[in-house]
Amino acid sequence: MFAFCTDPDTLPQWQWFACYLTSGTHLAFYWSFVVVMILLALAAPAALVMGLGGALLMRARFAPLRWLGQGYTAIVRGVPDIVFFLFVPIAVGQGIEALLHQVRCPHWDMPIWQGNDFIVCPEARVPPRGSPSWVRDLYGFSLAVLAFAVVFGAFVGNTLHGAMRAVPRAQMETAEAYGMTRGQAMRRVLLPQMWIYALPGLSNIWMILIKATPLLFLLGIQDIVYWARELGGAKTSRYTYPHPDWRVWYFLAVLVFYLAVTWASQIFFERLTRRVGRGLATAESARA
Amino acid sequence: MKTPLTLAIGALAFAASGALADTVRMGSEGAYPPYNFINDDNELDGFERDLGDELCERAGLDCEWVINDWDTIIPNLVGGDYDTIMAGMAITEARAETISFTQEYLPPDPSAFMALEGMNYDTLMESGVIAAQSNTVQAGVLAEMDGVELLEFPTPDETISAVRNQEVDAVLADKAFLADYVAESGGELVFVGDDQYFSDGVGMGVRQSDDELRETFDAVITEMKEDGSLNELITEWFGEDMDTF
């Protein structure tokens, strides 16, 4: 990074650290923080959409749709997150490959499952064989976003479902008395008002989502935790910057990062609650 | 219904076109210095990086490195994520059931027990808790031994930390990997007992269907053994004490 970094062994301490902290692996470490923020930025809206869908399904009049919504939230809420995070990417990944296998290789005469190995024809590999590593990373990352959306969508769905029921029934009756259809009453009266009831639950889920991002590590993505462990481990003089076991400092940095993000989120949600509560007789808006 | 012969020809034709047109993807772990490790520039480095690049150049192949965790390195080779494994992998019968190996590019190298200073070999053998990386030859050997308790870790680095934290009494691993830690610990870490030989040497793993690729690499490894360049590389990375061909 810096011109004086050519021979780190001879450097005074501050320069050694300047070089060390800007080494290629450290830049990758810093980039992984960005990746986590991107994941949050994508997973949160996706979970919100899944959740809204789930909540509307749970309110549906048509019983099978209602069962679908209830089944989705019940299954995801009842299964440990980690199991789901390991299950969704593998299941979706293999599902896509098995589907492509049927389409592209109709003449393949070996079974897809050979003992423990899942083997499809080379044309059905996703991402395709020989694709550069960033394509693989992107694919893995997309599966991770999907897993987060599915899991957190179920929690969001339950929260939104509860929030919809918290909107006073009398308001919906009034809307119907004014001649609004069910859909109109839903859009004009129910949905705008439910957010104030949903916000405390949603902010909780957002906090849990932030804290769940290290699960990326489980999916083989080189995230913050991966790099903290990798960089912190003792390095012998085979490396340019040998050092003893510094994992405690790296994990401390990760801890501070998460604390900062959740702290900022908390302030944001406090303000949002005040804003959404305007004109409503809630404890929050009374204080504001 | 395809006969084995037409299948074999088909596979050969595919392998031939694949080997010539595509880049060969070389899988490695990147966590086992000096065999292979990620250096501070975030690039794969080490003996196997140098050797692999040289082999590819001599064979006229276009090669690319892929990093994969040790515990899934064989399944992902079979699944086609990459075409070869060069990760300090000893040639064993159990592994040869799933993948095939080229001839060895490192002679059988010793394993050793490393412990904190003051550990006694006999107590270790009677009632020691010993660390090893999972899915390694060493883990297999320890599991069979009476008296010792095996504690497995997914990465080599964690086995070293476990010894330092006194979570285990010793670690069993390739001596060449442990040597750096012993040399730089200032006497804190020591080898205990004699060198142990379990391996038939380290080879490059390829899919069992990839006969052509295996033969290509076999030929260049033979070439490098004959002209002495392989021995030079081994000495450069492992020091004078390491056995050569």
Query: How confident is the model over B106-165, as pLDDT tens digits?
Result: 998 889 999 999 888 998 898 899 999 999 999 999 999 888 999 999 989 899 999 998
Residue B41 sits at the chain A interface (C-beta within 8 Å): yes
The pTM score is 0.79
Q: Please write the tens of the pLDDT for every residue from A153-187.
A: 999 999 999 999 998 889 889 999 999 998 899 88
Contacts of B203 (CB under 8 A, 6+ apart): B89, B91, B101, B102, B103, B104, B105
B141: Cα within 13 Å, side-chain hemisphere: 20
Separation of alpha carbons B125 and B145, rounded Å: 9
Domains of chain A (ranges, CATH numbers): 3-287 (1.10.3720.10)
Residue B200 sits at φ, ψ, to 5 deg, of: -95, 20
Domain ranges in chain B with CATH number 3.40.190.10: 4-108+200-238, 111-196
What CATH superfamily is the domain B111-196? Periplasmic binding protein-like II (3.40.190.10)
Q: What amino acid occupies position B187? A: G
CA–CA min distance A149, chain B (Å) = 26
Tokens of residue B163, six digits = 């010894």
pLDDT band at B2 (very low <50, low <70, confident <90, very high): very low
* Residue B25 near chain A (CB below 8 Å): yes
pLDDT tens per residue across span A26-35: 999 999 999 9
Is it the case that residue B212 has pLDDT exceeding 80? yes
In chain A, DSSP assigns E strands to: 113-114, 117-118
Q: Which residues of B touch A230 (CB under 8 A)?
A: 38
Distance of alpha carbon A117 from alpha carbon B98, whole angstroms: 10
Max Cα–Cα distance, chain B, nearest Å: 66
CATH level 3 topology of B4-108+200-238:
D-Maltodextrin-Binding Protein; domain 2 (3.40.190)
H runs (alpha helix) in A79-132: 81-104
pLDDT surpasses 80 at A130: no
A40-61: average pLDDT: 93
Nearest-neighbour CA in chain B from A109: distance (Å): 8
- Contact between A35 and A28 under an 8 Å Cβ cutoff? The reply is no
pLDDT band for A114, please (50, 70, 90 cuts).
low
Task: Point out the residue among B22, B39, B75 whose CB comes nearest to the CB of A240.
Answer: B39
Label residue A106 exposed, middle or buried (CB < 10 Å: 0-12, 13-18, 19+): exposed
Task: Convert the pLDDT of each residue in A67-98 to its tens digit.
Answer: 999 999 898 888 888 888 888 888 888 888 88
Residue type, A186: M
At how many degrees (to 10) do helices B211-226 and B229-238 cross? 80
Cα distance from B238 to chain A (closest Cα, Å)?
11
Residues of chain B positioned with their CB less than 8 A from the CB of A125: 79-80
**Is there a contact between B95 and B89 (Cβ–Cβ < 8 Å)?**
yes
Residues of B in contact with A24 (CB under 8 A): 39-43
Residues A202 and A159: beta-carbon distance below 8 Å = yes
* DSSP run (H or E) holding B190: strand B189-196
Q: What is the ipTM of this complex?
A: 0.72
Q: List the single residue in A24, A130, A238 with the smallest CB-CB distance to B42.
A: A24
User: Closest Cα partner for A244 from B202, B62, B161?
Assistant: B161
